[in-house]
Amino acid sequence: MKPSLFALLVLCAVAFAQNKQNVTVKSFTDTKTGKKHKIFSTEDRTWFMQDLGNYAWDAAMKACPTDWRLPNNEDWKRLEGFLAMHPELREEFRKGAKIKEKAIPEDGIKPSSGYWWSATESEEIPGGAYFHFMYDGFNDFYDGYDPKDAQRAVRCVKD
């Protein structure tokens, strides 16, 4: 094996090992409500592990505790990449969902594992906003948009 190829393989192995570090799920107590929430940290954000509740979009924008916020589309994309490297955490994230959709194969609806509002407003429909969701058994997040009066779950994020 050529030395440069060997060096590249070693660098890739080290980078992979660093990305596979264990992620610890901790708890956070909201000082306003006294409620405890499970949280975990990525490289640059801290996320709720469970849904805060189900809200229409305007209420969802105000639902997070002080210093926390509703994630935008960019936050969701970053989280998807992070969870791809941590499948054990992805499963726990998925299990904390409050809104789930049952499969209706004849209508082409797959079982989902949660619908979460995004802070990003939709350009596709007036008065709408994006939401993100996962299908059971799949690794990716998907997005859609709904009228802001639809009920979707809230996961809070902190920079």
Among candidates 5, 18, 10, 89, which has minimal Cα distance to 47? Answer: 89
Whole-number pLDDT of residue 7 = 43
Structural domain spans, the chain: 24-158
Q: What percent of the chain has pLDDT over 70?
A: 75
CB of 51 within 8 A of CB of 97? yes
Helix (H) or strand (E) holding 94: helix 87-95
pTM of the model: 0.78
Confidence of residue 24 (pLDDT cuts 50, 70, 90): confident
Average of per-residue pLDDT across 24-44 = 91
Average of per-residue pLDDT across 140-148 = 91
Residue 6: pLDDT over 80? no
As a CATH number, domain 24-158 is 3.10.100.10
Confidence of residue 40 (pLDDT cuts 50, 70, 90): very high
